[in-house]
Amino acid sequence: MDTETAHAHARRIIEEAANLTGDETVALIESHVAHNYGLLSRDPVVKAEGAWLTCASGKKIFDGVAAYSAANLGHGHPLIRETLKAFLGSHAPTVLGRFLADPYLGLFARKITQMTGFESFLPANGGVEGPEAAIKLARRWAHQVKGVKGTPTILFADQCFHGRTLTVTQMFVEEEKAARDGFGPWPAGFKRIPYNDLAAVEAAVDDNTAAIMVEPIQGEGGINIPDEGYLRALIELGKRHNFLVIFDEVQTGWARTGEMFCWQHEGPEARPDILCVGKSVSGGFAPVAGILASKKLMELFGPGSHGSTFGGCPISSCIGYAALTAIEEEKLVKQAQEKGEWLFEKLQELAERAPRIKEVRGKGMMFGIELTPDGPDGHHFTELLLEKGAIIKDTHHWVLRFTPPIVASKKDLELVLGILEEVFVGQPAEA
């Protein structure tokens, strides 16, 4: 296809999307897309910049979940956008077979290992591929290094969320019927234990235990924050009983909690054997994820043992490298610390005046607003907040997850606090 024809087709595609009405957009989605998600709004988002979404109607909405922390840097960060434009203009290959050397993958891998302190990176696509790869690596280690003869066991925490592939779907609690029902039987070798309970870990460990996999803060589970020292103690238990520790930081990573990774709040002794990363490692521009580990551990993955066509491809690696550069340039950790401390104080002050708010939990820029169970549930308040211009999404019925873009300005955050005040107290806060 010649360039002129390509330009004409490109313009037509963009114009076709821009000219769809909201009703037409929703009708297309409902007719042609699997209904594994429900639409919170029927007003299509047509523009996103920073912390704000603009709908087809012209309404502006504050993205108070930052696309589940995929947009820690906000939407459309200029450094990543300009890097992507330059990449496309260079005519570099967007995808290659991994049997071919790619300079972008080399640069991305060097950057991510330098920033995290791990020696080796296994690239993947969406976030769930991190836990899946970590489970495979832990099982191979159990067979080849620990010497497990039967089925290696992976311990996982109650109320966790590691994605929705078949392996980890069994980890949903029984009450989450939409997520679990009809998908069994489950893969063997997994054992549920209470979260934040070291005695339960001790009791569950046996000779076949390969690893424990936990989120340093449970996001989907309701912003559940463990006791100080829990993560560090898990590492100590792993060393004592000879099992690996996997921290899933797909959501809590990249400055969300006020450190580059949540485990770092407990010092270097809390470093896991395997770290799962994703979401904001791409700045929200593409599905980029993976796991990090020592070179010795990662060498258990030989050629042919694990792979992905698009995991670590040139365009993903270029985007990832740019996003990591932006995280450093924006001093995102410092922003999360300073804004998070201020915002937590404001949310606690709001809770004191709001009868329906039972508790506010948080670390960095990751907050859970738990409601009292004596009235409408969290989804009701999500709809009220959206109507007034902010997305703060409910999870586990009685918790509102508030994880705004870390780059959101104080003025933006004050505006959202005013919306929360109006919804929960009944009148806007004074400016």
Active-site positions read 161, 248, 279
Eight-state DSSP code of residue 312 = T
Give the separation between CA 406 and CA 337, rounded to whole angstroms.
10
Give the separation between CA 76 and CA 285, rounded to whole angstroms.
7
User: Helix (H, G, I), strand (E, B), or coil: what is residue 151?
Assistant: coil
- Asked if 196 and 224 count as a contact pair (C-beta separation under 8 A), the reply is yes
363, β-bridge pairs = 366
> CA dist 212 to 52, 385, 408, Å?
38, 37, 35
Eight-state DSSP code of residue 194 = -
> CA dist 426 to 9, 87, 354, 401, 419, Å?
51, 50, 9, 21, 10
Tokens 């969300």: give the residue: 256
Structure tokens at 300: 């258990």
Check residue 60 and give left, alpha or beta (phi > 0: left; psi -120 to 50: alpha). Answer: beta
> CA dist 223 to 67, 91, 165, 315, 322, Å?
16, 43, 22, 33, 29
- Nearest CA to 309 out of 102, 165, 124 is that of 124
Give the separation between CA 360 and CA 340, rounded to whole angstroms.
13
Which residues in 358-390 are b (16+ Cβ under 10 Å) and which e? eebbbbbbbbbbbbeeeeeebeebbebbbeebb
Structure tokens at 388: 């007034």
What is the C-alpha R_g of the chain?
Answer: 22
CB atoms within 10 A of CB 20: 16
